[in-house]
Structure 1
Amino acid sequence: SILVQLNSFMARDQFLLNCAASLGIYNALTKYNLPKLSIKWPNDIMSVSKKLGGLLIENTLMQDEINHTIIGIGLNVNQLSFSKDLPLAVSMKQLINNHLDRDVLLNEIVESIQLQFDLIFQKKHKELWEAYDQRLFRKNAAHMFEDQQGEKFMGIIKGVSQQGLLIVENEEETLKTYNFKEITYL
């Protein structure tokens, strides 16, 4: 876990923290030549349509500002096998056939996340949004989804709103936004 102190960061912009942390992990992993690396909204790291890991962010609020954030990271590094109930899990070692030094990797990830948070501190929010958007898993391709009501539909991910909502174009070419747990990838 990583603790980041924030100063006058508005709670309404909290999805930027997710963008920075996800991009930090993504950027650190690019040097390992993992195939088809992407970020699955809102916070999973994918390679060849399998889950390498993810993150969980916990914020501490003071009125309408975030005082600090804790970023918990789970990453499959050197595992060779996974439980049968995790059919989409994969490790870096499985993908590149090489044992990795976890301490070195951790330092690279922390440094990379810090660089992304520097963009937040420098108010380069548009740069973060664009980088996150460009790395979205399954963006601009048709895929099946299921909504909260259990309705299955074909949709195309178009991006993420500034509030962190997933923007999906449905079969009627209507754009709809979804919060976390309101839509599932099938």
Structure 2
Amino acid sequence: MIKFIWPIDLILLKEVDSTNKYARKYVYKKKNWIIISSINQTKGIGMGKNQWYTEKGKNLTFSIIFKPIKILPVKKRYIINIITSNAIHKTLLNYNNNNLIWIKWPNDIIYDNKKIGGILIENNIFLQNVHSIIVGIGLNINQTKFNKKWNVSSLKKIFNINFKLDKLFFEIIYSFQKEYFLFITYGENFIRNYYINHLYLKDKNSLFYVYKTKSYTKGIIRSITDQGFLIIEIKKKLYFFFQKEIKLILS
């Protein structure tokens, strides 16, 4: 059994529509590090109006509820996404370190150009600071059948082995706590640099759809700003984009 940095309070559900929705009732509880996990999530929430589809008992779908120990201003809320992405990425590297696992801005985990996981973060704000956070995580683990239109995969399809869900679940939670500990100990740049170095398609020519102009453009992902904006070089000029302002088009 993994020894966590901070004690957790685990709530295991047989079935729920969304662990993030269920977690909202615990946001104002005094306890910290409450984990909501479900064997079957029927209507997982993705970014915007997207949904996360998962097969019963074969994947990981859970939410982490915690209150920042260190004051986190609203403008720095992107850091939680950095922490979560890094934690998942580092955990998966323990299973296969072949440079095919990437972090796709802003909230996806990619293996060999296919999505294997997603992150959804909900922040509760008080006096311009983040008071409490719900971090929703969905990872395709042992599921093997997917709609071809989704361009997704799973760890089992990739490595051709069955994964122990409980073991991986606790490893990710520990990795999340460790990454948060690194943040409060060494600061924002320490964890941000890791994220930037593992950005999907960084420094490569890519195709994007810009929602404001309703047009496609070619560009190169260069980095992210200290507020989480994606920096893209277009025609030798740098442009900053926030979530839902631009979409990376995969071939």
Q: In structure 2, what is the Cα distance between the partners aligned to 1:177 and 1:115?
A: 30
Q: Name the counterpart of 1:4.
A: 66
Q: In structure 2, what is the Cα distance between the partners aligned to 1:160 and 1:4?
A: 25
The one of 179, 183, 193 aligned to 1:120: 183
Q: SS where residue 137 of structure 2 aligns?
A: strand
Q: In structure 2, what is the Cα distance between the partners aligned to 1:180 and 1:124?
A: 23
Q: How many residues align?
A: 184
TM-score by length of 2: 0.71
Q: SS where residue 67 of structure 2 aligns?
A: strand
Q: In structure 1, what is the Cα distance between the partners aligned to 2:118 and 2:87?
A: 12
Which stretches in structure 1 are left out of the alignment for 5+ residues? none
Shift of 1:130: 0.3
The one of 130, 133, 143 aligned to 2:206: 143
Shift of 1:83: 1.6
Q: SS where residue 54 of structure 1 aligns?
A: strand
Q: In structure 1, what is the Cα distance between the partners aligned to 2:209 and 2:97?
A: 29
TM-score by length of 1: 0.95
Q: SS where residue 122 of structure 1 aligns?
A: helix
Q: State the 4+ residue runs in structure 1 displaced beyond 2 angstroms.
A: none
The one of 232, 236, 243 aligned to 1:173: 236
Q: In structure 1, what is the Cα distance between the partners aligned to 2:230 and 2:97?
A: 25
Q: SS where residue 107 of structure 1 aligns?
A: helix
The one of 50, 55, 75 aligned to 2:119: 55
Q: Encode CA deviations 1:85-119: one digit per residue, 9 max, x unaligned.
A: 31x10000000000001110000000001011112
Shift of 1:34: 6.2
Instruction: Name the larger-Rg structure.
Output: 2
Alignment of 1:23 onto 2:86: yes
Q: Name the counterpart of 2:228.
A: 164
Question: Is the 8 Å Cα contact of residues 40 and 136 (structure 1) preserved in structure 2?
Answer: yes
Alignment of 1:155 onto 2:219: yes
- Aligned letter for 1:77? I
Q: Name the counterpart of 1:32.
A: 95
Q: In structure 2, what is the Cα distance between the partners aligned to 1:184 and 1:100?
A: 32
Question: Is the 8 Å Cα contact of residues 183 and 190 (structure 2) preserved in structure 1?
Answer: no
- Aligned letter for 2:66? V
The one of 146, 150, 157 aligned to 1:94: 157
Alignment of 1:134 onto 2:197: yes
Which stretches in structure 2 are left out of the alignment for 5+ residues? 1-62
Question: Is the 8 Å Cα contact of residues 144 and 152 (structure 1) preserved in structure 2?
Answer: yes
* Percent of residue pairs bearing the same amino acid type: 32
Q: SS where residue 147 of structure 2 aligns?
A: coil
- Alignment RMSD, CA only? 1.1
Shift of 1:151: 1.4
Question: Is the 8 Å Cα contact of residues 11 and 66 (structure 1) preserved in structure 2?
Answer: yes
Q: SS where residue 94 of structure 1 aligns?
A: helix
Q: Name the counterpart of 2:146.
A: 82
